[in-house]
Amino acid sequence: MQRKNHLKLRAFMILGAATFLALGFTLGRNAGEITPATIDHAAELIGLTFSPSEKDSMLSALNTQRDNFEILRKTKLENSVSPALVFNPLPQGFYPNQNQEIADWGLPQSVTLPEKESDIAFLPVHQLAVMIKSRQISSERLTKIYLDRIKTYSDTLQCLITLMEEPAMARARAMDEELATGKYRGPLHGIPYGIKDLLAVKGTKTTWGAAPYHEQVIDETATVVQKLDAAGGVLVGKFTLGALAMGDVWYGGVTKNPWNLKQGSSGSSAGSASAVSAGLVPFAIGTETLGSIVSPSTRNGVTGLRPTFGRVSRHGAMALSWSMDKIGPISRSALDNAIVLSILNGKDEKDASTIPAAFNYSAKNDVKKLKIGYFKSFFEGDRPNIKNDQAVLEVLENQGIELHPLELKPSMNPGPIVNMLLVEGAAAFDELTRLDLDDQLVAQHRNAWPNIFRSARLIPAVEYVQMSRQRTLLIQEMHELFAGYDVIVTPSFAGQQLQITNLTGHPALCLPNGFAENGGPTSITLLANLFDEEKLIMLGRLIQKNTDWQAKRPPMFDR
């Protein structure tokens, strides 16, 4: 520790006071004198120059700033404390519909119960719901099927952090008893599920996938878990995530892709996607800041829904980026995700970023009345897996859908704006850097969190605000683009759409669309305007009714 602090002191002397202030090292007032040369070194890092008289005038203010930072750091800030500035993705003149209607899921009247338990395990939520309601299968039996599969396969996949066997079985029996008395809570009644282990559940560990927090217990339950509990869901386990919500490397190993155990599950909702793919749960909750639902859904061949920013409460969830974090379901079908979203949706007084909005899906709505666009240039050329993406367009055309070509060409580059995420992450985990706790994280390479957080502290506050202002313009541009279409079809990782739509808060539905030459799943993504998730579900359901990509099972776990 002493050697590391000595190196930090040398870094301060070289880089200057502004660097010291940005990095936040707690070395005290004697760490080094702030001089005009110090200002020169710091100014180089941010691309500015100051005259001798300007530097002389700055010295007093810089000393005062450093004193104030030391005062501020005496107040411990928990990760759950959000900034006073709340991000709102709504463009000028737009506000979502709040007239909530009764959902019509269009569920089948009956579903035949398979003989094999493995076939039961891979059924989608909307079919399991019919069987539970008709009492063809009990929640207790269904829950035991999934618990047995978790105990059999989770070590192989390295996808589980906490198994909740006893409370899950007690909960399942309680749901069966309620049903026997005529009380039915809805399609999630008695349905087992899992959550990403950045969601707090009272009485359990919430590790965030990171060694410094592997014994952390948060004395509350996340809002989304409370809502799923009220809807009759049966929580069976907490699944892995890449440490602090990036990648698939956590303190216990690397979460595996069920289609290829030599490959990671991608992240950061690695465990949730892996578990759904392998039939360990019918659905799980993930989160996305910059691809953490879309990427593992693609890698694991499952269906992920990233809701509009502000639709789902993040209370009780680890904060990485207060202006970009989103919570959504990962399942086997678009319809399953709609059922889960209907429960998660809603304003929460404990999360100031939530926005009241209706979620009105009806199976009676005519999907062919939707205006569907596609990013034309993304479907052209000779890149890998482009034929799978083109096949989705062919399916839609064969179903009588008229496709309208368009292009995604914002007037600004979204890449630099993504630095907002890095600044917010560095603030969320301030003490991790200042107290050297970052040494405990498994990943220590150049692009891992420890180095990212350190580097982000050198981004000036002025530039952060300027990014936010450009983000406002980007939101308005994307609103004008999306306002002309009900759904836009895009390859999941082409161009900069993933960056852009995560910055602007637009919803996305990621669907399997076949396999690559190496046997791994591929995906397509559907985009819609803010709070128009029902349109994503309509088109996604049409695609999945006319293909079987989402029904494929990883062979090693299909038993």
Residue percentage of the chain with pLDDT more than 70? 94
Answer yes or no: is pLDDT of 174 > 50: yes
> Residue 376 corresponds to which tokens in the numbers above?
């034309």
Least confident of 44-48, 232-236, 389-393, 513-517: 44-48
Asked if residue 119 has pLDDT above 90, the reply is yes
Contact 25, 8 (CB under 8 A): yes
Type of residue numbered 291:
G
Q: For residue 118, give both structure tokens.
A: 């493995």
Q: Judge whether 553 and 279 are in contact, CB under 8 Å.
A: yes
Number of CB atoms found within 10 A of residue 249's CB: 22
Q: Answer whether residue 12 shows pLDDT above 90.
A: no
pTM metric for this prediction: 0.93
Distance CA 487, CA 489 (A): 7
* CATH code of domain 117-412+467-557: 3.90.1300.10
What Å distances lie between residue 182 and 104, 133, 134, 169, 177, CA to CA? Answer: 21, 10, 11, 20, 9
Per-domain residue ranges of the chain: 1-75, 117-412+467-557
Could you give the 3-state DSSP secondary structure of residue 331? strand
Nearest to 490 by CA among 338, 394, 376, 401: 376
Read off the tokens for 254. Answer: 């690397």
Q: In this predicted model, what pLDDT tens digit does every residue of 371-426 receive, in sequence order? A: 999 999 999 999 999 999 999 999 999 999 999 999 999 999 999 999 999 999 99
Contact of 396 with 372, CB cutoff 8 Å: yes
What are the tens digits of pLDDT across the range 315-327?
999 999 999 999 9
Instruction: Count CB neighbours of 214 within 10 A.
Output: 16
Tell me the average pLDDT across 435-451: 95
Greatest alpha-carbon pair distance for the chain in Å reads 84
**Segment 476-518, tens digit of pLDDT:** 999 999 999 999 999 999 999 999 999 999 999 999 999 999 9
Q: Could you tell me the pLDDT band of residue 32, with boundaries at 50, 70 and 90?
A: confident
Residue 244: band (very low, low, confident or very high) from pLDDT cuts 50, 70, 90: very high
Contact 290, 421 (CB under 8 A): yes
Confidence of residue 31 (pLDDT cuts 50, 70, 90): low
The answer, yes or no, to whether residue 4 has pLDDT greater than 70, is: no
Give pLDDT, residue 172.
99
Higher pLDDT, 31 or 469: 469
Q: Does the pLDDT of residue 13 top 90, yes or no?
A: no
Give the Cα-Cα-Cα angle 294, 316, 241 (nearest 5 degrees).
40
Tens of pLDDT, residues 254-273: 999 999 999 999 999 999 99
Residue range 153-167: average pLDDT? Answer: 98
User: What tokens appear for 515 in the block?
Assistant: 């396999």
The beta-strand segments (E) located in 91-233 are 160-163, 192-196
Per the structure block, which two tokens stand in for 460?
């000036």
Measured distance between the N- and C-terminal CA atoms of the chain, rounded to whole angstroms: 51
The answer on pLDDT for 223 being more than 50 is yes
Average confidence score pLDDT of the chain: 94
The CA-atom distances, in angstroms, between 79 and each of 9, 146, 429, 432, 497 are 28, 33, 7, 11, 29
Q: By the 8 A CB rule, do 294 and 508 touch?
A: yes
C-alpha dist (Å) from residue 292 to 14, 74, 335, 435, 448: 37, 34, 20, 28, 15
pLDDT higher than threshold 80 for residue 6: no
pLDDT at 18 over 60: no
Backbone torsion region of residue 534, taken as left when φ is above 0, otherwise alpha when ψ lies between -120 and 50, otherwise beta: alpha
Q: What is the pLDDT of residue 29?
A: 36
pLDDT of residue 3 exceeding 90, the answer is no
